[in-house]
Chain A
Amino acid sequence: MSVLIYAENADGKFKKSIFEAVSYARAIADQNNTTLTAVSIGNVSAGELALLAKYGADKILNVANAQLKNFVNQAYASVIAEAAKKQGADVVVLSNSFSGRGLAPRIAVKLEAGVVDGAVALPEQAGGKFTVKKTAFSGKAFAIVELTSANKVIALIPNSYKVVEANKTAQIEDFSVDVKATDFKAMLKEIVRSTDKVSLPDAEIVVSGGRGLKGPENWGMIEELANLLGAATACSKPVSDSGWRPHSEHVGQTGIAVSPNLYIAIGISGAIQHLAGVSSSKVIVVINKDPEAPFFKVADYGIVGDAFEVVPQLIAAVKEYKASA
């Protein structure tokens, strides 16, 4: 057996979440005394590819066909499944990114593999069983899932496994696959990136605002605080439903689930649906003028006070801290 990791790049660079997934895949390879092969698709420099060895890859397959420069779900799934077959890999690891979640089920069908997406911990392999812990009920619980198939596909949630340096040396091999024309039916027209912002699913710190902020015109201080902390901005469902903020910022059971190191909730009461989406945050700070707000019950730190008074003070305090650090 061996392990294969699909190392997704964004504009030729690997994000921290990919190094987490490489470290995770390395640990699975070590559990089974086997090797880890990384596969990268698209234009990535040799220097960047070498980072995959730093975090644990023994071998790096570089797929640089011009046709595969941009992400095409169906075609990428074919390439990754083919790489797994050629390497004799029986465990395929991906990051549980937007693209990863589209690839995992397709790869699983090609390899007749059981699949766990939303994985949050290393597999347990005691007693001949292969089990993986994953999020369930939108963050309200975890499920322990046994994969009973010979081949397995796992998609790892960002910020749930630590990056570990393994400092392997790996050969970079060109890898080419004939992908059938019907795999390219979906045509990419345009990529729109909001480059000035930290992406919410990857963010280590999230500053989130709720109805307590009274209107979209008051988001300036949320953005200022987020900028200072290198954080992503987010919001509660009523805020995105009212059109104050885009749906892509909606954190909660029917929005996006996040697991940052720090989640700062400002003017959000903490409805059960919102809490579901933030429960795996490592530290939660709540700022709310209502001391009875349910959010305080699941917070690590809290300030009972008016957001319009507290947040400007917090901004000043962070500036002061940054100046002294």
Chain B
Amino acid sequence: MNVLVCISNVPDTTTKITFTDNNTQFNTTGVQFILNPYDEIALSRAIELTEGGKGTITVINVGEANTEATIRKALAIGADEAVRINAKPHDAWFVAYQIAQYIKQKPFDLILTGRESIDYNGSKVAGMLGELLDLPSVSIIKKLDVDGSNATVEREIEGGKEILTIPLPFIAGTAEGVAEPKIPNMRGIMSARTKPLAVIEPVDVKTFSEVLSYETPAPRGQVKLVAADKVSDLVELLHTEAKII
């Protein structure tokens, strides 16, 4: 089984998000970039599914040269080879289109993405790939098992879950629960340096969206403290002042 894992290069989860140029640019000064945590889960499950010579894993990223540290991390965790499409990931449509062109030339049995990237929080690439390749897609899954040419997945729904069976190939966005993130070992880190990383140029495609600017959430006022022996005051405040109960 040949698995493609689509990966994003995103700011570390501890990053304090700020903007420059009149709130039109994300301030990357001092920001550590990491492999998107949901993509790490996808990659970890791909490793479990192909362990023992049962397949190969390719990771693909749409990004400029600065994403290569993250790509090497994915190779260190256990991907066999990597592809970087040399372009700024303009929006989900641009990214999905580029990856779809690659898959059309080199089909895979299973295509995984994280459920969303933690920067723009779309969960669009999986569905767009599905549409562009005319394959089934499941946007957010908590469990993934493959048996021969069929997979069983658990999909999260509000207040429950759905269990689906899907023939390979298909596209799935993975969430927590699918696998525990794997940590690269020394052998992995050493071998990552020599694993193949192909750089290919993007194809032309029209884009449909532009980020114009950013805002940060309005700061909250000073916290109003209620004494620990006057808990009923809190209920009173929530009723009369906040008017939410």
Residue of A194, A255, A301 contacting most chain B CB atoms (<10 Å): A301
| Distance of B151 from chain A, by nearest CB (Å) | 10
CB neighbours (8 Å) of B142 from chain A are 247-248
Residues B210 and A145 in contact, CB atoms below 8 Å apart: yes
Q: Let me know if B80 is at the binding interface, CB within 8 A.
A: no
Q: Which residues of A contact B15 (CB under 8 A)?
A: 137, 140, 272
How far, in angstroms, from A141 to B24 measured CA to CA in the complex? 12
CB proximity of A170 to chain B, nearest CB, Å: 26
Please, what's the 1-or-0 string for A25-51, where 1 marks a CB less than 8 Å from any CB in chain B? 000000000000000000000000000
**B126's contact among A105, A108, A313, by CB below 8 Å, is which?**
A105
Shortest CB-to-CB span from B39 to chain A, Å, is 11
Given A106-B130, A297-B223, also A190-B124 (CB < 8 A): no
A201 surroundings in chain B (CB, below 8 A)? 158
Are A247 and B127 also in contact (CB < 8 A) when A144-B215, A297-B223 are? no
Q: Which residue from chain A places its CB closest to the CB of B127 in the assembled complex?
A: A105
In contact, A148 and B127 (Cβ under 8 angstroms)? no
- Contact indicator B128/A105 (Cβ below 8 Å): yes
Say yes or no: is A299 at the interface (Cβ < 8 Å to chain B): yes
Bound complex: CA of A272 vs CA of B14, how far in Å? 6
Q: Which residues of A contact B119 (CB under 8 A)?
A: 136-137
Distance in Å: Cβ of A274 to nearest Cβ of chain B: 10
- Count A/B pairs, Cβ under 8 Å: 292
Q: A116-B209, A138-B121 are in contact. Are A106 and B131 (CB under 8 A)?
A: yes
The answer to whether B217 and A117 have CB atoms under 8 Å apart is no
Which B residues are in CB contact (< 8 Å) with A300? 220-221, 223-224, 242
In the bound complex, CA of A273 to CA of B215 (Å) = 18
Interface status of A147 (Cβ within 8 A of chain B): yes
Chain B interface residue count: which class? Answer: 35 or more
- With a cutoff of 8 Å between Cβ atoms, the chain B residues found around residue A284 in the complex are 220
B120 CB contacts on chain A under 8 angstroms:
136-137, 143
Are B17 and A310 in contact, CB atoms less than 8 angstroms apart?
A: no
Interface residues of A in 253-303 (CB under 8 A from B): 253-255, 257, 261-262, 272-273, 276, 279-280, 282-286, 296-303
Chain B 197-226, CB-CB to A under 8 Å as 1, else 0, gives 000000000011111111111001101111
Interface of A is mostly: mixed
B73 interface residue per 8 A CB criterion: no
B residues near A109, Cβ cutoff 8 Å:
93, 96, 127-128, 131-132
Bound-state CA distance A113–B226 (Å) is 50
Contacts of A282 in B (CB 8 A): 244
With CB as the reference atom, state the residue of chain B lying closest to A282: B244
B123 within 8 A of A: yes
Among candidates B124, B208, B211, B216, residue contacting A144 with C-beta atoms closer than 8 Å: B211
Q: Hey, what's the 0/1 contact readout for A149-192 against B, CB within 8 Å counting as 1?
A: 10000000000000000000000000000000010011111111
**Number of A interface residues, CB 8 Å?**
103
In Å, the complex CA distance between A36 and B244 comes to 31
CA distance A287 to B136 in the complex (A): 45
> Which residues of chain B come closer than 8 Å to A279, judged between CB atoms?
217
- B:217-244 near A, CB below 8 Å: 217, 220-221, 223-228, 231-232, 234-239, 242, 244
| Contact residues of B between 89 and 145, Cβ < 8 Å to A | 91-93, 96, 118-128, 130-132, 134-140, 142
- Name the A residues within 8 Å of B37 (CB-CB): 254
Instruction: Pick out which of these stretches binds chain B: A83-91, A207-215, A315-323.
Output: A315-323
The one of A106, A136, A200 that contacts B121, using a Cβ cutoff of 8 Å: A136
Q: A residues within 8 Å of B by Cβ?
A: 10, 15, 71, 73-74, 77, 97-99, 101-106, 108-110, 112-118, 131, 133-149, 182, 185-195, 197-202, 205, 229, 240, 247-248, 250, 253-255, 257, 261-262, 272-273, 276, 279-280, 282-286, 296-306, 309-310, 313-314, 316-318, 320-321
Further contacts, 13 of them, CB under 8 A, given A136-B214, A247-B177, A300-B221: A77-B131, A101-B123, A108-B93, A139-B217, A146-B211, A188-B162, A193-B160, A255-B176, A262-B244, A301-B225, A303-B228, A316-B231, A320-B235
* 6 contacts across the A-B interface (CB closer than 8 A): A98-B155, A131-B212, A145-B212, A148-B209, A254-B38, A254-B176
Which B residues are closer than 8 A to A by beta carbons?
11, 13-17, 19, 37-38, 91-93, 96, 118-128, 130-132, 134-140, 142, 152, 155-167, 170, 175-177, 207-217, 220-221, 223-228, 231-232, 234-239, 242, 244-245
